[in-house]
Amino acid sequence: MDLMSIISQSLQQAFGPTAVIYALAAIGLNVHFGYTGLLNFGQAGFMMVAGYSMAALASVWSQSLWLGVFIGLFLTIVLALLLGIPTLRLRADYLAIVTIAAAEVIRQSIGAASFSDTFGGQDGITDFIAPFRAVNPYSGPVDLGIVRWSGYDFWVMTVGWVLVAVCCVVVWLLMRSPWGRVLKSIREDEDAVRSLGKNVYAYKMQSLVIGGLFGAFAGFMTAIRSASIGPSFFATDVTFIAYTVLLIGGAARVLGPVVGSVVFWFLITALGIFFTQATRGADSLIPAWIMTSQQASLMRFIFLGLGLMLLMIFRPQGIFGDRRELAIDAR
Amino acid sequence: MHVPLRRATVLIALVLAFLTVGGTSAQASPPTTSDEGGARCALPEPTDDDVISILGRICDRREQPQQPVEGVTVTVEDESGNPVGEATSGADGTFVFDLPGTAIENLGKVFVLTIDEDTLPEDTEPEVLQRNVPINLDNDTSVTFPVGEAAFGGSGKGAQALQLTVGGLVFSVLLAMAALGLSMIFGTTGLTNFSHGELVTFGALVAFAFDRLPGTVTIGGANVTVIVGVAVAFLVSAAFGWLNDAALWKPLRSRGTGVIAMMIVSIGLSIFLRNVYQYFAGPQARNYSQYSAVQPWEIGPLLVTPKEVAVVLIGMAVLVAATSLLQFTRLGKATRAVADNPALSAATGINVERVISIVWIGGGALAGLAGALLGLTQGFDYQIGFKLLLLIFAAVVLGGLGTIWGAIVGAFIIGLFTELSTLLVPAEFKFVGALLVLIVVLLIRPQGLLGKAQRIG
């Protein structure tokens, strides 16, 4: 058991590119669920549309990544409008079912063999990242003593955490504005807001679009992190992990998703490495008849599921949240 | 005193209903060789090796017994139209095409077989030019190209549609069993259960675990291990459904947990169970020890396996039994009353918690049976239920959340739609179509086909 390597690798993940992606996705969900009470289970769909727009535009139609970003944001808005029109007048669980179904429709369609000429089928797209690599200011790996990142990862992190900071400021500004207070009152009591003459439907739609745009940035970062993009990056579980991240940090708090992402990736990586080390070699800590190394890789997901359940039951407000500010009743 | 007795009666009735049907299926299930085609135009025997082969025959149906057609070239392509190879029928009208690659690589793929019209004898007309062959099991798959006049007066499309309808029916029945449970649980507790798919997988796993136990179960000399395994899965899944409620959902309800919180808890449970299943069962696709390669019956242009018939009969009988219980017994009436208005039914003296507990038992049993039968028809892996979950939701929302008949009608529409849509679009889009139907239905009739028009927003 090598404690130092567990801490080092966990810290690497906790602040690494993956944590950036989930922080951004969870910031979007925070606008949806935390502030407005909308149960969007299709954040992976928003991420996928944006990420694929950027990657496909650069790779297939050889346009710049910037144009891809703008097209991606535009298509995300279109998707949010398409999803919102049928569902935002309905109860929360309908929105949940439709968004999760829509995310899966998008994933299966983009990953389909019929479109493999454009989107690469299950293999996805790879050759779009050169312009981003070209402006990488870090020549070698970055070593901070106990933890080190490759130059490319650190470049992705630099861009990513700046993006996270900007998004947090935007959310903070939005939520202290009168507009943000309307969103929170929709979460608390939709009918009361309606009786004050506010167009609840329009506010919900704006919230869905803005949260989806944060999800779009998570999608861009997903493509940039891996220097490739594929349908398997956007499985349903991505949305569920983003929810876990949000709930750990605390919903309806500006920094909740960020702290949640760091804590989540630290814990999940530490668990993963612990069980990998505990089952490695002939004389392992956990005997092979209880757990093989293949089974060890599942332990962190078992803990993820268990953790999400226990979190929601015993501390739904997470680290920073306020229980009274949580939209956990049907409306 | 009365109520427990009534519950016992219902349970016994359910079990009896199941056993009766199980008995009939036992007679129907043993593979029967089709002698319709005569000895001269029979399918090649499946071989039990590591390579998946597509076994086919080309028979002239105008003669009786059917005559084999020799020297016809069949090209094999994968889903995206890349050629994989070709085979030529021999003197007995049969061809064997060994798929390249290992069995695991081919699982889940769909191959398109096309006969080359030019190589047919001049006086013959093909009824079916093209067949899609999905590889769901790691066994050899058989396919027939009848030649002669079209039997149903229609073209190859007609025969294909009929064949797809059979597949769609089998799928619909299984979907309906899972959807009924989900809908009733939603109706009585308000919980949108994202872990319902894991109840389905649980049934398949129990049947598989029973099948893997050493020894076999025989009745009158016939090996019925898998049939008994499916029955065991039904019962154990009922207990699992009860456990779900008693250990998790009932305490949460008494804490006053909101329905959205419970929905997120159910997602956690789904992730947890799915990975626990994979922990114990492994990631690979699995089959039961019996009935995985069954000689199909040939009915007109259709190929129907006896196990498909058995699955539809069992499923139909269970659905009829479950809906009759809900429709006609006192307990069923109480259940529907709770689904309609829990507070009001509690006020009229119905024990709501007991009704909910029974709904979970029934829902778990139905879902588990669906899973076990799904494993029987197409094999299963640890996430078969999770893959099915969105289709179950689609069926339930289409029919009307919380309704009994809505769930069943919705399941049949979705089940048939997914299969029949492959006539027009590539097979990889069949789930996409079903989910789009879900979204469109919410747009124009949010309460579902059979739901009551009340405010749901």
Asked whether the beta carbons of A118 and A60 are under 8 A apart, the reply is yes
Arithmetic mean of pLDDT, B278-298? 81
Give the closest of B390, B393, B442 to A87, CB-based: B442
Burial string for B336-350 (b: 16+ CB within 10 Å, else e) reads bbbbeebeebeeeeb
Question: What is the b/e burial string over B122-160, where b = at least 16 CB atoms within 10 angstroms of the residue's CB?
Answer: eebebbbbebbbbbbbbbbbbbbbbbbebbeeeebebbb
Average pLDDT of A84-99? 83
Interface contact flag, A237 B252, Cβ < 8 Å: no
Contact assignment for B268 to A104 by CB distance below 8 Å = no
Residue B156 included in any domain: no
Q: What is the pLDDT of residue B225?
A: 85
Asked whether residue B428 is assigned to any structural domain, the reply reads yes
- Distance, in Å, from the CA atom of B443 to the CA atom of B437, rounded to the nearest integer, reads 10
pLDDT at residue B11 greater than cutoff 70: no
Residue A220 sits at φ, ψ, to 5 deg, of: -60, -45
User: How far is it, in rounded angstroms, from Cα A242 to Cα A257?
Assistant: 9
Chain A residues closer than 8 Å to B397 by CB: 94, 97
Mean pLDDT for B185-202 is 92
- Among B271, B397, B429, select the one facing A308 at the smallest CB separation: B271
Q: What is the pLDDT of residue B368?
A: 95
Which of B268, B270, B439 has its CB closest to that of A101?
B439
Tell me which chain B residues have a C-beta less than 8 angstroms from the C-beta of A91: 456-457
CA distance A98 to chain B (A): 6
pLDDT (average), residues B17-31: 38
In this predicted structure, what is the pLDDT of residue B439? Answer: 82
Q: What is the mean pLDDT of residues B4-9?
A: 46
Q: Which of A54-58, A110-114, A303-307, B318-322 has the lowest mean pLDDT?
A: A110-114
Residues B47 and B171 in one domain: no
B31 lies in a domain?
Answer: no
Q: Can you give the CATH number for the domain in which B95 is found? A: 2.60.40.10
Are B25 and B234 spatial neighbours (Cβ–Cβ below 8 Å)?
A: no
What is the average pLDDT across A190-201? 91
Point out the domain boundary residue: B121, B149, B177.
Answer: B149
Indicate the burial class of B447 (C-beta count within 10 angstroms; 0-12, 13-18, 19 or more): buried
pLDDT at B137: 63
Least confident stretch, B92-101, B133-142, B277-286: B133-142
The answer to whether residues B101 and B211 belong to one domain is: no
| Domain positions in chain A | 3-235
Band of pLDDT at residue B150, cut at 50, 70 and 90: very low
Decide if pLDDT at B201 tops 80: yes
Consecutive H or E run containing A214? helix A200-226
Return mean pLDDT, chain A: 89
Contact status of A112 with chain B (Cβ, < 8 Å)? yes
Chain B partners within 8 Å of A102 (Cβ): 435, 439
Looking at every residue in chain B, the average pLDDT score rounds to 80
Ranges A67-76, A143-152, A220-229: which has the least confidence: A143-152
What is the pLDDT at residue A328? Answer: 63
pLDDT at B245 over 90: yes
User: How many percent of chain B have pLDDT more than 90?
Assistant: 33
- Inter-CA distances, B176 with A24, B251, B403, Å: 39, 29, 12
**Same-domain check for residues B279 and B422:** yes
- Identify the pLDDT of residue B17: 46
In terms of average pLDDT, the best of A118-132, B194-208, B415-429 is: B194-208
**CATH number for position B220:** 1.10.3470
Give the three-class secondary structure for B77.
strand
Question: Phi first, then psi: what are they for B125, rounded to 5°?
Answer: -120, 130
Indicate the Cα dihedral angle A182, A183, A188, A194, nearest 10°: 50
Read off the amino acid at residue B280.
Answer: F
* Cβ neighbours of residue A44 closer than 8 Å, sequence gap 6 or more: A103, A107, A234, A235, A236, A238, A239
Q: Is residue A162 very low, low, confident or very high in pLDDT (cuts 50, 70, 90)?
A: very high
Neighbours of A297 (CB within 10 A): 16
pLDDT tens digit sequence for A252-271: 889 999 999 999 999 999 99
Boundaries of domain holding B92: 39-149
Residue B30 lies in a domain: no
B424/B358 same-domain check: yes
Nearest to residue A65, comparing CAs of A230, A272, A221, A197? A221
| Residues B332-337: contacts with CB under 8 Å, at least 24 apart | B335/B184, B335/B188, B335/B359, B336/B404
pLDDT of residue B160: 82
pLDDT category of residue B62 using cuts at 50, 70 and 90: low
Summarize pLDDT for A30-42 with one digit per residue, the tens.
999 999 989 999 9
Q: Which residues of B5-32 are buried (b: 16+ CB within 10 A; e: fewer)?
A: eeeeebbeebbebbeebbeebbeebeee
pLDDT in tens, B116-127: 777 777 666 666
The verdict on residue B344 lying in a domain is yes
pLDDT level of residue B23 (50, 70, 90 thresholds):
very low
Is residue B7's pLDDT more than 90? no
**In the prediction, which pLDDT does B96 show?**
80
The shortest C-alpha distance from A3 to chain B (Å) reads 25
pLDDT band at B230 (very low <50, low <70, confident <90, very high): very high
User: What pLDDT, on a 0 to 100 scale, did the predictor assign at position B25?
Assistant: 37
Q: Which is it for strands B302-304 and B222-223: parallel, antiparallel or unpaired? A: unpaired
Number of structural domains in chain B: 2
Q: Does A92 touch chain B (CB under 8 A)?
A: yes
Q: What is the pLDDT of residue B391?
A: 92
Q: Could you report how far apart the first and last alpha carbons of chain B are, in Å?
A: 42
Q: How far apart are CA B428 and CA A229, in angstroms?
A: 20
Residue A61 has pLDDT above 80, yes or no: yes
pLDDT value for A321: 80
Number of neighbouring beta carbons within 10 Å of residue B334: 23
Enumerate the residues of chain B whose CB falls inside 8 A of the CB of residue A113.
79-80, 426, 428
* Integer Cα distance of A183 and A209 in angstroms: 13
A 124-153 residues with CB < 8 A to B = none
- Condensed to tens digits (0 to 9), the pLDDT of residues A289-331 reads 777 777 888 888 999 999 999 998 888 888 888 877 776 664 4
Token couple for B155 = 């073209």
Q: What is the number of alpha carbons within 13 Å of residue A262 lying toward its C-beta?
A: 11
Q: How confident is the model at residue B104 (pLDDT cuts 50, 70, 90)?
A: low
Q: Tell me the residue ranges of DSSP E strands in B398-443.
A: none
Average pLDDT over residues A206-212: 95
Place of tokens 């891996």: A226
**pLDDT, tens only, A216-253:** 999 999 999 988 899 999 999 999 999 999 999 988 88
Of the ranges B242-246, B294-298, B372-376, which one carries the lowest mean pLDDT score?
A: B294-298
Asked if A302 lies within 8 A of B275 by C-beta distance, the reply is yes
Structural tokens at position B285:
């696709």
pLDDT digits (tens, 9 = 90+) for B400-456: 887 888 899 999 999 999 988 888 888 888 888 888 888 888 778 878 887 776 645
The pLDDT of A188-206, averaged and rounded, is 91
Q: At what angle do helices B430-444 and B384-399 cross, to 10 degrees?
A: 30
Whether A285 shows a pLDDT value over 80: the answer reads no
Q: What is the pLDDT of residues B162-182, one digit of tens each?
A: 888 888 999 999 999 999 999
**Predicted complex: ipTM over 0.85:** yes
Give the phi and the psi of residue B424 in degrees, each rounded to 5: -105, -35
User: What counts of helices (H) and strands (E) characterise chain B?
Assistant: 14, 12
Average pLDDT over residues A113-128: 83
Query: Is A81 touching B (CB cutoff 8 A)?
Result: no
Contact yes or no for A278/A61 (Cβ under 8 A): no
B251 and B282 co-located in one domain: yes
More confident residue, B335 or B131: B335
The pLDDT value given to residue B45: 66
- Provide the pLDDT confidence category of residue B15 given band limits of 50, 70 and 90: very low
Contacts of A247 in chain B (CB under 8 A): 264
* Beta-carbon separation of B435 and A101 below 8 A: yes
The arithmetic mean of pLDDT across residues B219-237, rounded, is 88
The mean per-residue pLDDT over the stretch A149-155 comes to: 89
pLDDT of residue B155: 52
Cα angle A170, A171, A176 (rounded to 5 degrees) comes to: 105
B104 neighbors B284 (Cβ within 8 angstroms): yes
- In this predicted structure, what is the pLDDT of residue B5? 43
- Give the model's pLDDT for residue A331: 44
What letters, b where the CB count within 10 A reaches 16 and e where it falls short, cover B202-228?
bbbbbbbebbeeeeebeeeeeebbbbb
Element (H, E) at B35: none
Are B19 and B77 part of one and the same domain? no
What mean pLDDT comes out for the span B337-350?
A: 88
In this structure, what token pair is assigned to residue A126?
Answer: 């790879």
Residues of chain B with pLDDT > 70, as a percent, come to 79
Residue B279 lies inside a defined structural domain of this protein = yes
Q: Answer whether A305 touches B (CB < 8 Å).
A: yes
Say yes or no: B358 and B425 in one domain.
yes
Q: What is the predicted pLDDT for the residue at B29?
A: 35
Tell me the residues of chain A between 23 and 42 that have a Cβ less than 8 Å away from chain B.
39
| pLDDT (0 to 100) of residue B28 | 35
Domain-embedded: residue B157: no
Residue B159 belongs to some domain of the structure: no
